Amino acid sequence: MSSRSMRLLAWCVLLALSSGLAGAEDVCDDGGPDAFFPTIEKVVYDPSSRAPLAFRHYNAEEEVCVKEDCRAMKDWLRFSVAFWHTIRGDGSDPFGSPTKSWPWEEGEMSAMARAKVRLRAIFEFLDKLGVEYWCFHDRDIAPEGQTLQETKANLDAIVEQAKELQEKHDKKLLWGTAQLFHHKRYINGAATSPDSRVYAYAAAMVAMAMDATKKLQGQNFVFWGGREGYQSLLNSDIKQELDQLGAFMSAAADYKEEIGFDGELLIEPKPQEPMKHQYDFDVATTANFLRMNNLEGKFKINVECNHATLSGHSCEHELRTASIQGLLGNVDINTGDPQTGWDTDQFLTDPVEATRLMLTILEQGGLGKGGLNFDAKLRRESVDVEDLFYAHISGMDAMARGLKQAAAIINDGR
């Protein structure tokens, strides 16, 4: 028996023991290197190609110089794939059921077995797309259990597999985060909940997610408080809720130091949705929150472009506002629809917009430990796995054009 077969057999035995409801047929099929995207070859740079599955502008190893600072294109851009949209996105919306039938969702199996299959899918996708980084929410990758202890055990098991897959595929975690908005316990917020039990539970979830991020050598940890806000001022004590949020973030910063996590802590602003008003409305509001709570130097900001436009600003405005305060740590690179008043999370494909964004990033010397995360999803009508590649390629090419054009503008000096 080959060493690979031995490893696979051991993996299957351990998985069967840890996933009691999963049958052998659920978890023991390694599937090989082309289990999920068998018709897709590794995407390569070919500027003369007319093929849709090729890069025309993104050349990972091409050197781009900004004045005297020369780096490979991949090191300026530091692209990341979002697990939630790419692997978990099913095309559903408030008015309709799922439209996508992904190969990693086929067959009957336990929640934990399914989680392990999904992990293999994203690493195959990263390999073929040629992207080095990925991002996740804790609930994207591991199911919630009946108890906090079971939830932790589920996450720990998945993190072990993710660590092995990162090493096998030579990939890295750009950032992790805790999903504190979907479960009904967060109906009135997580850090801003009036129920101390919910506050404590949310703190435990952040601790577990930060532990997971550290174990995977993640470079950042993100806070997006979708329920940290209000629907009506009539039943909201803003001062109390903001004080709670400040205490929560202070505790998170302390925990980072306690466990020795050397990544950046990032807050991701958004003005509304799902709440009518969110407390980290935009970059300026978030910067003021950090100052009021003596958190300067402990957090940076993750700017999402679609959130910027929802707040009435351009993404360029938000990047510059963060950058001049030393707060720009990461960009969720996407765009919205000017005719739509909600978060549409579209792929940014406009090279002019990309150039304006990259100017700010290059002028501050890059994003440090951050990167450009594709927090973007396929449209509901887009149902083929190939579409995942078309979408990411278009976004990567747009940002590569933006990088080269921004570098040329800076180097020209006029």
* 117 in Cβ contact with 33 (< 8 Å): no
Dist CA 171 CA 126 (whole Å)? 8
* 274 in Cβ contact with 227 (< 8 Å): yes
Name the pairing type of β-strands 277-278 and 229-230. Answer: antiparallel
Structure tokens at 268: 């991701």
Dist CA 185 CA 337 (whole Å)? 32
* 309 in Cβ contact with 315 (< 8 Å): yes
CA atoms within 13 A on the CB side of 329: 24
Structure tokens at 356: 């304006």
Report the 3 state secondary structure along 21-61. CCCHHHHCCCCCCCCCCCCCCCCEECCCCCCCCEECCCCCC
Q: Which of 57, 85, 137, 317 is catalytic?
A: 137
Q: State yes or no: is 317 an active-site residue.
A: no
Dist CA 236 CA 188 (whole Å)? 10
Structure tokens at 308: 């910027």
Dist CA 97 CA 100 (whole Å)? 10
- Alpha-carbon torsion 44, 49, 53, 58, what sign? positive
Task: Write the single-letter amino acid at 59.
Answer: N
- For the annotated catalytic residues, the residue numbers are 137
